[in-house]
Amino acid sequence: MEQRHPDGRTVVVSGGTDGMGRGIALARLGRGDTVVVIGSGEARGAALMADAALLGAARRCRFVQADLSSIAAVERAVEAITREHPVVDALVLCANRLNRTRRESPEGLESTFSLYYLSRYLLGHGLRFQLDSADNPVIVNFAAPGLKVGSVKFDDLQAERRYGILRAQAQCGRANDLLGRNFLQSPSSRARYVLYHPGFTATRGGVAHLRQPARGIITVLGRVAARSVDQAIAPMVELIDRPPADRLTAIDRGRQVDLSLRTFDPDNARRLAEVSRSLVLTHHGPTQLLPEPGEPGGPGSAGGVH
């Protein structure tokens, strides 16, 4: 069981082995926190652990290897985290991957949906008791609030009829807007929820799916036009120490996003929560990652999903 540093927080970062998640993990280790990083690649996990050791923080850093596009793997990751960490002060959601062609998760769901949206829904609910045990808990979801492109295609959520890489990403961006919105209406934990659009940021993830010469062009463009990881993450590194008072905040590159935008439609938010719950039950079965009926955020709760 973790021995908490009196001043340090416990931070869980999904997709914390590369890009902005890795930046947040190292920055928070540098501030004395205990950091649990989830990623799918063993080599990236080992590299992160080596960087943590260089900071003198190896004992405060833990790598949990999990393919978060799998519901079963999210469940195992949450079990591993909750065994060691009864208190989680911050959950930072960064895991994402761009798939050129349609892929399915181990449970048969479209992989972008499963990773970029569903794992975030499940991690937020699955760690609710650990977050509720912290003094000032916060969930930071790195996505794209403020953008209006794309929509949640309730009639083809798994992109079986039509798949496109940008369409799949945009759908998940909007789904994460609705996830935040539903959290506001029907929270499953006391945590503050922050949706954050970092802007175009120079990471590998943004170009990995491209073929040459597009990959080279975007990489060069990135050097000129993109923000550095340090610039992009700085406000969120700070925010973990002082979460906002509001239950839901959406920030697009430093600007507060108006929560009355149609991308935060409360009815769509309720509908997506309901569909997500039944997808998990159908493709995986009952799990502690879902709030129970009557629990905050569960079916039948006040303002919850009916």
Ligand X SMILES: NC(=O)c1ccc[n+]([C@@H]2O[C@H](COP(=O)([O-])OP(=O)(O)OC[C@H]3O[C@@H](n4cnc5c(N)ncnc54)[C@H](OP(=O)(O)O)[C@@H]3O)[C@@H](O)[C@H]2O)c1
Least separation in angstroms between residue 183's CB and ligand X is 17
Contact flags string 225-264 toward ligand X, x per CB under 6 A: ----------------------------------------
User: Counting contacts by CB under 6 A, is residue 205 touching ligand X?
Assistant: yes
Burial of residue 185 (CB within 10 Å: 0-12, 13-18, 19+) is: middle
Q: How far apart are CA 277 and CA 186, in angstroms?
A: 14
User: 235: left (phi > 0), else alpha (psi -120 to 50), else beta?
Assistant: alpha
Contact between 238 and 138 (Cβ < 8 Å): no
**Binding residues for ligand X, total number by CB under 6 A:** 32
* Nearer to ligand X among residue 25 and residue 157 (C-beta): 25
Least separation in angstroms between residue 249's CB and ligand X is 16
Report, in angstroms and rounded to the nearest whole number, the Rg of the chain calculated over CA atoms. Answer: 18
Point out the residue whose Cβ comes nearest to ligand X.
205
**The two structure tokens encoding residue 26:** 């190292």
Give the β-pairing of 248-252 and 138-142.
unpaired
* Nearer to ligand X among residue 34 and residue 119 (C-beta): 119
User: Counting contacts by CB under 6 A, is residue 204 touching ligand X?
Assistant: yes
Least separation in angstroms between residue 294's CB and ligand X is 32
Site residues (CB under 6 A) for ligand X, limited to 154-183: none
Least separation in angstroms between residue 32's CB and ligand X is 22
User: Counting contacts by CB under 6 A, is residue 297 touching ligand X?
Assistant: no
List the one residue out of 128, 63, 119, 64 whose CA is nearest residue 93: 119
> Site for ligand X (CB under 6 A): which residue of 68, 71, 127, 239?
68
Site residues (CB under 6 A) for ligand X, limited to 96-155: 96-97, 115, 142-144
Strand order in the sheet with 248-252: 61-65, 34-39, 10-14, 90-93, 138-142, 192-197, 248-252, 255-256
Is the torsion defined by CA of 134, 33, 121, 260 positive or negative? positive
User: Counting contacts by CB under 6 A, is residue 198 touching ligand X?
Assistant: yes
* Nearer to ligand X among residue 146 and residue 291 (C-beta): 146
Give the β-pairing of 255-256 and 248-252.
antiparallel
User: Counting contacts by CB under 6 A, is residue 92 touching ligand X?
Assistant: no
User: Counting contacts by CB under 6 A, is residue 15 touching ligand X?
Assistant: yes
User: Counting contacts by CB under 6 A, is residue 219 touching ligand X?
Assistant: no
Burial of residue 268 (CB within 10 Å: 0-12, 13-18, 19+) is: buried
- Contacts with ligand X by CB under 6 A lie at 15-21, 38-41, 44, 66-69, 94-97, 115, 142-144, 197-198, 200-201, 203-206
